[in-house]
Amino acid sequence: IQMTHRLFDEEIVETAALHIIRAHSIKLFGVGASGLVACDLYQKLLRIGYNVNYASDYHVALTFMATSTPKDVAILFSNSGETTEILRAVDILRQNKTPVIGITKHSLNSLAQKCDYVLYMDSPEIYKRSGATSSRIAQLFLSDILFTTIANHDYSNIEDYLEKSYSVIQSLTKKNNER
């Protein structure tokens, strides 16, 4: 987290957040452990009423990318920035002129070179990764910063959604505790 924080560029996060707020829809995609991070951000954005798409199925994800427009925005997660599925997705998004935000390691990798905005992470992942722990945590850190920035900028519009989603989950928790 500290190494990723050193790479943090507030201006890029602010610009990316504003693109997300203004987007017609948000397309999220990651493979493997990066997919878990994409799913986490999907759930958070869904809770605040955003039109967001995420699918762990590659064919469904490609469909989201293929139907994207310049009014949408995509966020792609890849530690290496060289994941074949992610690079295929970014090429489709570029053809559709959809703005692309990448969350990837700090290097001149293929994903970073193809994105409009890049949030860089640093994680001391060894070659034979044990569950992609440090890279996943670094991606979650950047994803949470991005989400918090969005929520801060758009709080007046999302406040009711936060309350509604909280209330629905709380009502389930209460019913489960009563059993």
pTM equals 0.88
38/60 Cα distance (integer angstroms): 14
> What region does 97 belong to: left with phi over 0, alpha with psi -120 to 50, or beta?
left
Tell me the pLDDT tens digit for each residue of 14-71.
999 999 999 999 999 999 999 999 999 999 999 999 999 999 999 999 999 999 999 9
Beta bridge partners of 54: 28
| φ and ψ of 174, to 5 deg | -60, -45
Report yes or no: 51 and 42 within 8 Å, Cβ to Cβ: no
Work out the pLDDT band at 111, boundaries 50, 70, 90. Answer: very high
Q: Give helix 84-95 / helix 58-66 axis angle, nearest 10°.
A: 20
